[in-house]
Amino acid sequence: MRLDRWFKVHFPGLGFGPLQKLLRSGQVRVDGGRVKSDTRVQPGQVVRVPPLDVDAKSKNTPIAGHDLKHGGDYELLQRMVLHEDDKVIVLNKPAGLAVQGGSGVTRNIDKMLEAWTSPKGEKPRLVHRLDRDTSGVLVIARTRGAAQKLTAAFRERDTKKTYWSLVRGVPRKHEDKISTWLVKEATADGDRMRVAKHGEDGADHAISYYRVLETAAQNLAWLEMEPYTGRTHQLRVHALHIGHPIIGDPKYFIEDPNWDVPGGIQKRLHLHARKIDIPHPSGGRLRVSAPLPPHMVQTWNLLGLDLASQEREDDE
C-alpha cells in the first residue's frame, strides 16, 4: 500500500498538505528512513508517526467562538498546532483571538502560552504578531536561543510571509508593488494607520507586493499579498490605498454607495496569513502553510473560487 493511502486509512483527519510537511521534515519515517508519499509500505514495517498528529481528527479543526471563550488554554493551543519541533512551534491563529494583551482583550496567545511552560520553567516566546482579526500562521519560539534567531530573521527580512485576502473590485494591474510611507494617528475609534508624505514626522516606509489569484465577476478579487516590511496594518492600508479595500475590514473598508457586499458573506476581515518561509534555528528553512478560517472558506465556496487547486499548488 502507498504510504499516503496508509495514512488515509489510519489517520483520516490528516490532510494531504500536513502529511507532505511531515514527510518533507522527516517527522514520518519507515523503518527509520525518510520516505515520500508514494513509498510503498509492506507488512511488518514500522511507520513512525509523530505524537503531535496521533489525534489527527481533532487537531486543526476550526475553533469556534464558544471554544475560544470557554476552552482550556492547553487544549486550544494544541488544536492550533501546524508544526512542532524542539525549537519552533507554528500555530494557525483563529480570527478574533489577540496575540498580546491590551484594552478590552480578555484572552491572548501570549498569556495562553504559559500553559506550555517547560519543566525547566521556560515559557514559549512570541517572535512576531498578527492583528487580532487576521487569522493564520504564527511562529512561536520554544527557547530563548531560538527566539533570538527567529527575531533576527524577521528583523533582517530573511522571511517570506504570504497572505490571502479578498478585496472589493479587481486591481487594474494583476501584479504590482505598493510603496508608501505610513504613520499612526489617533482617532475616535482607536489608533489607525494612514498613508503619509515622505519625511512626515513618525512616518515609516512600507513596501508590499500583490498578485491576483482569481476574480469573481469582476466584482471581487482574491489576492496573494506579501509584506516586505512589517508595519502595523500594512496590507490593510495598502489595499485601501490602491482602491481595493479588504472585505470585512472594520477599520479600513470604506463603503461605496455603488457597491454592495454580496449576500452570504460575513462582515469579518478576509485576511489570512497563509504561508511562512523562515530560517530554522537549527539550520535549513521551515515552510508552513495554514488552511483558511471557516468564514473565508464559506465565502470562497459562495463565490465558486477554486481553493483546492491553489492549495495543491502551494503544497507542491
Residues in the chain: 316
Q: List, in order, residues 6 or more apart from 200 with CB less than 8 Å away.
A: 181, 183
Strand partners for 206:
180
Q: How far is CA 105 from CA 102, 118, 203, in A?
A: 5, 26, 27
Name the active-site residue from 38, 55, 131, 176: 131
The DSSP element (H or E) to which 20 belongs, if any, is helix 16-24
Could you confirm whether 131 is annotated as catalytic?
A: yes
- Quote the strand ranges of 13-107, DSSP E: 29-30, 33-34, 47-48, 81-84, 88-93
The DSSP element (H or E) to which 84 belongs, if any, is strand 81-84
- Phi and psi at residue 181, to the nearest 5°: -105, 140
- Phi and psi at residue 304, to the nearest 5°: 70, 30
CA distance 240 to 182: 13
> Is 224:210 a contact under the CB 8 Å cutoff?
yes
Crossing angle between the packed helical segments 307-315 and 16-24, to the nearest 10 degrees: 10
CA distance 25 to 104: 39
Place of cell 466584482: 219
Catalytic residues: 131
